[in-house]
Amino acid sequence: MDKFTTLTAIAAPLDIDNIDTDKIIPARFLKTIKRTGLGRNLFADMRYNPDGSEKADFILNREPYRHAEILVAGDNFGCGSSREHAPWALKDFGIRCVIATSFADIFYNNSFKNGVLPIALPEEACAKLRADAAMGENARLTVDLARQVVIRPNGEEIPFEIDPFRKHCLLNGLDDIGLTLEHASAIDAYEARMPSWLPKIQGA
């Protein structure tokens, strides 16, 4: 998993509440267990017309937001069914951080495990950041995970809370497999001891 330390990037304002996981990645695209290739179908029903053409008014179909790495949304982001494809699709598109007033629990947990940082902030702060994002490419936001602040273009720092363990995992690029491999030497030592105490099989 890629490390998340400090991100300075274009932010896309998406002032919509209750964006569920089926809006993030519709169920018809869940036929794969690969984490790549889903970005083109991120928000598919919001981004595309029935004939496959782009909806010109959707934020991610406009410049500079086609290149956004931060999304500033509304309340209850990621609600609905529990699908890990939702953070996969966000990350494959290029979104590394989602800022909202609240998140659905399963989406929130899945995001950390897939290298996407979800930040919950009060509505007043989110409104400021959406206004900044609406200014376009020259108004980039900075997310400093180590210091736990979002920095506005005017220099104002907005602090956010994060669980220390999840922070450690993101800063060091550790998913569940990576956390296990941190104990590789202990695992190897355990496996090396196994033949000495396991019951001998007759004729082995």
CATH at 102: 3.20.19.10
- What is the tally of structural domains in the chain? 1
Q: How far apart are CA 142 and CA 150, in angstroms?
A: 6
* 190 touches 197 (CB < 8 A): no
pLDDT in tens, 108-128: 999 999 999 999 999 999 999
Q: Establish if 204 belongs to a structural domain.
A: no
Q: Let me know if residue 54 belongs to a domain.
A: yes
d(CA 29, CA 36): 12
pLDDT higher than threshold 70 for residue 93: yes
- Report the candidate in 70, 130, 121 with the shortest Cα–Cα distance to residue 100: 121
- Which residues on adjacent β-strands are paired with residue 70? 11, 97
Q: Tell me the C-alpha distance between 50 and 14, whole Å.
A: 22
Cα-only R_g, the chain = 20
Predicted local confidence at residue 189, as pLDDT = 67
For residue 202, is it within any domain? Answer: no
In a domain, 203, yes or no: no
Q: What are 65's two structure tokens?
A: 């937001």
Q: Please provide the average confidence, as pLDDT, over all residues in the chain.
A: 91
pTM of the model: 0.87
- Size (the chain), residues: 204
> Mapping DSSP to helix (H, G, I), strand (E, B) and coil, where does residue 163 land?
coil
174 part of a folded domain: yes
Task: Name the percent of the chain lying above pLDDT 70.
Answer: 86
β-bridge mates for residue 97, sequence order: 70, 117
Structural domain includes residue 104 = yes
Residues of the domain holding 77: 6-197
Average pLDDT over residues 10-26: 97
Tens-digit pLDDT profile for residues 126-171: 999 999 999 998 889 999 999 999 999 999 999 999 999 999 999 9
Mean pLDDT of 65-87: 95
123 located within any domain: yes
Evaluate whether residue 178 is within a structural domain. yes
